[in-house]
Amino acid sequence: MKLKRDFYNRDGLIVAEELLGKTLVHITEDGITKGKIVEVEAYMGAVDKAAHSYGNLCSERTKIQYGEGGYAYVYLIYGMHICMNIVANREAIPEAILIRALEPLEGIELMKKRRKTDNVKLLCNGPGKLSQAMGITKDNYGDDLCGEALYVEEGIAVKKKQILKTKRINIDYAEEARDYLWRFTIKDNPYVSK
């Protein structure tokens, strides 16, 4: 069951938490890949110094966040890695959820081929890695997650007790925003990044 627009048109922190346990699906010419979302981070543009859209900055890169929720925000980081985000909330509110780790479910052989490794635990345990394993590129920027090729479907229910809230990673430059508990993970899942 594919998630509808209503799911994404809510507060970014709610969307982030509820995305845990859902399944990310990407259908390409090479085949289908699916992964359970086990780790995410929320980036809340208006108040978040770590966000690209901090202070409601609207640029060529961030403008997709100003539309309604349910679109893909994809960007290149450090010149060599792709990160995939899901835009949340309504028009004019720039919020995005960074997908940090997946548990591979389908198309594992295809993921191994793309990642050039046979270790399943290393296929998707980081933002750059899962993008490579899922075949996501800059061309997916702005893709509609209510469309046919790239979307999120209903997964297993995650109990509140299984959700861990921690500080985000690799944003030391963001001053007080470093301490916000906006990283959500599924407790004890072996596929969460290190």
Partner DNA sequence: GTGAAGATTAACT
Partner DNA sequence: GTTAATCTTCACA
Q: How far is the CB of 97 from DNA (least distance, A)?
A: 8
CA dist 144 → 79, 107, 147 (Å): 25, 22, 5
Residues 36-65 interacting with DNA (rule: CB under 7 A): 41, 43, 50-53, 57, 59-62
Residue in the block written with tokens 């770590």: 50
Smaller CB separation from DNA, 22 or 129: 129
Smaller CB separation from DNA, 62 or 189: 62
SS (H, E, C) the chain: CECCHHHHCCCHHHHHHHHCCCEEEEEECCEEEEEEEEEEEEEECCCCCCCCCHHHCCCCCCHHHHCCCCEEEEEEECCCEEEEEEEECCCCCCEEEEEEEEEEEECHHHHHHHHCCCCHHHCCCCHHHHHHHHCCCHHHCCCECCCCCEEEECCCCCCHHHEEEECCCCCHHHHHHHHCCCEEEECCCCCCCC
Q: Tell me: does residue 73 bind DNA (CB under 7 A).
A: yes
Residues 122-151 interacting with DNA (rule: CB under 7 A): 122, 126-129, 138
Q: Tell me: does residue 183 bind DNA (CB under 7 A).
A: no
Q: How far is the CB of 6 from DNA (least distance, A)?
A: 22
Q: Tell me: does residue 80 bind DNA (CB under 7 A).
A: yes
Smaller CB separation from DNA, 5 or 121: 121
Smaller CB separation from DNA, 133 or 186: 133
Q: What is the CA radius of gyration of the chain?
A: 15
Q: Contact with DNA (CB under 7 A): which of 2, 10, 81, 178?
A: 81
Stretch that binds DNA, among 15-23, 70-78, 103-111, 149-157 (CB under 7 A): 70-78
Residue in the block written with tokens 């890949």: 33
Q: Contact with DNA (CB under 7 A): which of 111, 171, 186, 192?
A: 171
Residue ranges that bind DNA, judged by CB under 7 A: 41, 43, 50-53, 57, 59-62, 73, 75-81, 83, 85, 96, 98, 115, 122, 126-129, 138, 169-171, 173, 193
